[in-house]
Amino acid sequence: MAAEGTAKGRAGRAGSYGIIALFTIFSAFPFYWMLITTFKSTPDLLKRGNNPFLLNEPPTLEHLKVLFHDTLFGQWIWNTLFVGVLVVAITLLLAVPAGYALARVMGRTGEHLGIGIFLTYLVPPTLLFIPMSRIIGDLGLQDSLWSLVLVYPSFTIPFSTWLLMGFFKAIPKDLEEAAMIDGLSRFGAFVKVVIPISVAGILTTVIFTLTLVMQEFVYAITFITAVRNMTVSVGVPTFLVHGDVYFWGSLMAGCFISSVPVALLYNFFVDRFVTGFTMGAVKG
């Protein structure tokens, strides 16, 4: 019986490892495809008889040269980071106190308001970019990165507020009450107790906002026309797709360089997203 149980345990572990391996391959394949396409020569990419998953000819750097020398990819990366950092700062500045107020101060009314705020995030951008264009034009921000800094928080703040509400509700009120009994004001308890415990929610908000800024296309192409002011999501497809000619190597290089930092950020903090920080914080 013991031997049978051991065999079943090994089979179960083998099955678990097999599933994890398949999931890992599935998740990593897009990055492998982008990376190998980046270093494939153009003849290697175009020959149908070649194996698309391997380097059939010596690797080349020509696609990276096209990306960095024939386009303003470096400037687009900088523009994206500039907009991303400012939008993250604005989003956190407004969403964190708003989420806390709705979760703690306003009671049941806050729950209804939170749902209403979240519903505004579900409005398709294709319905909003026309009136937004009028606002941007009236403010004189057309063809400026500040137009994106102004518009993006309009849909990052609602979702982030709703997201942070859930994290603040998961924090036991006993922690704040104990801090206030010790002499802290509600704001002091919020800053010194709630914020440190809510790091997971804040990091989730930061990564969500950065990801959205990097991949958003509709507003970026509507408000920005100057090449130097474009973001990565607009510049790469605009200048590496000429009619029906696709510069696949350079396209994949741009996608790989843009996506790897976000992927690494997700992986470094994935445990913070799935672990409850307040479990067992208050003992009965």
Average pLDDT over residues 126-149: 86
pLDDT above 90: residue 198 = no
What does the longest C-alpha to C-alpha distance in the chain come to? 79
* pTM as predicted: 0.81
pLDDT for the residue numbered 111: 67
Average pLDDT over residues 241-251: 84
pLDDT above 70: residue 75 = yes
Amino acid identity at 195: I
- Residue 166: partners with Cβ closer than 8 Å, 6 or more residues away: 103, 201
pLDDT for the residue numbered 131: 84
pLDDT for the residue numbered 28: 86
What is the CA angle 49-50-56, rounded to 5? 150
pLDDT tens column, 271-281: 665 543 333 33
Percentage with pLDDT > 90 across the chain? 21
